[in-house]
Structure 1
């Protein structure tokens, strides 16, 4: 058993001072506000539950700072992303993902949903172990110290039935049945779950039911994530190919449900919003990537009011800072509506903690409460960003940033202290340099 005294902590019923917690076998065995325990290790600052990053492409971290040099578009950015995808093998992927996940724990992220489609060799042939690249991601998470839900992704087409081309041949398993057979060879653990994803409706064959039926059968009862309506061009292409919106296509084939996460969900019709709400689906918003790529602002509040549940991700890692993602949801709504007050701080923090973890299959994480996984993120409340802001949930959402994280604990193990930030940066520089052969 390990005991801690949290100077100030955000519990399910609000902020409390002097919170005594006991951790046994990686879970909270006691959480007692107002109890001074002299023998306990004291954590100064404001301590909050661990954050869940529900949408990540680890290898995109190599693009930061390199895609801003020309005006471009989502589609020109995609070509630069493909250039990175072509360079990676299991060893360089392991190094890059480990460094990227280390940046995440430094930012208070204790669990990641890794949307994984970089499956095979550059020419499309499987590795000797067909899951070598997925296993590299699971190992990277273990080394970095955070939990992972590996969202192994079905990708069969370069666009509405057209064959994969270029870097995309690495993504393709040939059929949904072959994809499922490969994924069934992956084993999870107490710190790693294996779940499914559909890259997008663009990645489906000309007869979408041939892929969607077996995907729905495989994913039954498990998290299923999908890029949904990220671009207007995706919606137009789906209507031209299949006669319906992407959301309606998924609904008609039984892929919308309470374990479905619609990633981005940016360009939706009123009917789309109603379908996602009725399904009690999750909506994984990634505001820093969506603004970086010029995607647009999704209807976050309308989705929530319809019954969908908000979660947050860092996606392409233009920024890895879920505090920024939280407040961006509200601030982006203000820009679109020219009104304030769409989201309360507590709602956004819930999206980044309990709801985010649930969307990744971890219902036992995201709160400082007895029986939950012992994830703790401690923030400096006297930094230039947080000083004088009240040291409560409003500080977390509307003032703090990743640089204010002083310590991160995952399943009762301390995986980051602020003094290690420089080392994390050096690891990133080395791993990214190898990708670009600098």
Structure 2
């Protein structure tokens, strides 16, 4: 029997909740009409709970930001898992992606994004950074509405209820040194002038919307030149001097080798030598770094955007997490190509990858005896993800968005667990989704593990696939 639909309320009561300074019991959250948390009250007695308050049926934690997404790739997940005529790598996978993306219509892109965002919400992601480079028609010509494809993705976010940081991608070239782009990249290409027009439209669209933020993303050092990146950075400051800036960097060894051949410098060293990288930047992957580059990234205040399941699927390599974490570098997680949509799996892969290469255990938690690795990973990913997306999310406190995830207290791996042990168990002790209910911006979007519009969204997805 299905529960009655959750109604939005002006207050929410949690039997236990993860607050910025740790777990607290009997917590009452006051919510504003705009979807913010207005107040947080601990130790609230039964008699003091206001009438009409929504009572959560399990522990409450902050929703996880997903800082790196290519939404359309959800529909091609699983299509590149057959061996080719030669050694397979990121570069052979990329050709499969180009073949797939060349056929997508705006309507299909919106339906795929909506399906993806439903899956994210059900998994406990409450915000997404959409690294969006599918700008134009299949022939490379802009649509009549220059922002057609970005608007489609943002419409999918609004419809499903997920918060979004839309990151239109500056993509101009096919390789380092302004090499000509290939046919498979023609839908991605803009010069700085047209790209800034696109950004202007999107900044206007998002103005005043607390669920949306606009940033921008130079795709990679191989897809821009110093001149085009300089021009767009200057233009973006005119829209928002604090706009998030995301970039793919040092993902593949070939990329590092090509950057060395072009400039004599490795990608991260080159970027830091030529641009001011600060807390508004998010460097996606950063897999292949020297000790010097690792220290420069950690010291900069920028976020390392880690996507362990995609990096594993593509054979990228392992991020130097032990050294980076020891230097208090900021980081967050993303599902990238969406071969998996699970924050707990991203966190588990991150820790397990380090265990395998260092042949040790519990490597990414804080120093000292008795600290929870699961809680440390979850908390750090909240902080870095919120910073990377440039939104008031990632913690349950006055002034933040009301993005709440209710864990399922009846899930066997969570039975008998309290406090940080809940997160240890959720991350390391099972493969079942631990999420029961999800609120985003003060609105319930998932109840009993199902999205409020799940049936209609999956029907649209089926139609996009021609089924």
Whether contact under 8 Å (1:285, 1:310) holds in the other structure is: yes
Query: What are the equivalent positions in structure 2 for 1:309-328 lying under 5 Å apart?
Result: 309-328=330-349
1:34 paired with 2:62, answer no
Please report how far the alpha carbon of residue 435 of structure 1 lies from its aligned counterpart in structure 2 after TM superposition. Answer: 4.4
Cα separation, 1, equivalents of 2:425 and 2:409: 8
Give the equivalent residue in structure 2 for 1:384.
Answer: 412
Cα separation, 2, equivalents of 1:270 and 1:49: 33
1:168 paired with 2:185, answer yes
Cα separation, 1, equivalents of 2:56 and 2:429: 20
Please report how far the alpha carbon of residue 212 of structure 1 lies from its aligned counterpart in structure 2 after TM superposition. Answer: 2.3
Cα distance change on mapping 1:7 and 1:399 into 2, 3 Å: farther
Cα distance change on mapping 1:429 and 1:3 into 2, 3 Å: same
Compare 388-397 and 313-322 and name the one that shifted more: 388-397
Cα separation, 1, equivalents of 2:284 and 2:199: 21
Whether contact under 8 Å (2:309, 2:340) holds in the other structure is: yes
Cα separation, 2, equivalents of 1:182 and 1:372: 29
Please report how far the alpha carbon of residue 429 of structure 1 lies from its aligned counterpart in structure 2 after TM superposition. Answer: 6.7
Match of 1:406 among 426, 431, 436: 436
Cα separation, 2, equivalents of 1:89 and 1:218: 30
Cα distance change on mapping 1:401 and 1:52 into 2, 3 Å: farther
Cα separation, 2, equivalents of 1:182 and 1:49: 33
Please report how far the alpha carbon of residue 122 of structure 1 lies from its aligned counterpart in structure 2 after TM superposition. Answer: 0.9
Give the equivalent residue in structure 1 for 2:31.
Answer: 23
Cα separation, 2, equivalents of 1:374 and 1:430: 28
Match of 2:293 among 245, 266, 272: 272
CA RMSD of superposed structures (Å): 2.1
SS in 2 for 1:98: helix
Cα separation, 1, equivalents of 2:352 and 2:439: 29
Cα separation, 1, equivalents of 2:349 and 2:96: 26
Structure 2's unaligned 5+ residue stretches are: 1-8, 366-373
SS in 2 for 1:409: strand
Give the equivalent residue in structure 2 for 1:60.
Answer: 73
Cα separation, 2, equivalents of 1:255 and 1:155: 20
Structure 1 residues 83-132: Cα deviation after superposition (integer angstroms, max 9, x where no partner): 22112122111111111111111111111000000001111111000110
Please report how far the alpha carbon of residue 165 of structure 1 lies from its aligned counterpart in structure 2 after TM superposition. Answer: 1.6
SS in 2 for 1:45: coil
SS in 2 for 1:54: strand
1:3 paired with 2:11, answer yes
SS in 1 for 2:59: strand
Q: Give aligned pairs, total.
A: 432
Cα distance change on mapping 1:405 and 1:311 into 2, 3 Å: same
Please report how far the alpha carbon of residue 219 of structure 1 lies from its aligned counterpart in structure 2 after TM superposition. Answer: 4.4
Give the equivalent residue in structure 2 for 1:355.
Answer: 384
Cα distance change on mapping 1:422 and 1:331 into 2, 3 Å: farther
Query: What are the equivalent positions in structure 2 for 1:422-437 lying under 5 Å apart?
Result: 424=454, 427-428=457-458, 430-431=460-461, 433-437=462-466
Compare 252-261 and 370-379 and name the one that shifted more: 252-261
Give the equivalent residue in structure 2 for 1:159.
Answer: 175
Please report how far the alpha carbon of residue 299 of structure 1 lies from its aligned counterpart in structure 2 after TM superposition. Answer: 0.9
Please report how far the alpha carbon of residue 51 of structure 1 lies from its aligned counterpart in structure 2 after TM superposition. Answer: 0.8
Whether contact under 8 Å (1:56, 1:316) holds in the other structure is: yes
Whether contact under 8 Å (2:196, 2:236) holds in the other structure is: no
SS in 2 for 1:110: strand
TM-score for both structures, normalised by structure 2: 0.87
Give the equivalent residue in structure 1 for 2:364.
Answer: 343
1:371 paired with 2:396, answer no
Cα separation, 1, equivalents of 2:197 and 2:327: 36
Cα separation, 2, equivalents of 1:354 and 1:425: 33
Please report how far the alpha carbon of residue 49 of structure 1 lies from its aligned counterpart in structure 2 after TM superposition. Answer: 0.6
Please report how far the alpha carbon of residue 169 of structure 1 lies from its aligned counterpart in structure 2 after TM superposition. Answer: 0.4
Query: What are the equivalent positions in structure 2 for 1:67-78 lying under 5 Å apart?
Result: 67-70=80-83, 72-78=88-94
SS in 1 for 2:215: strand
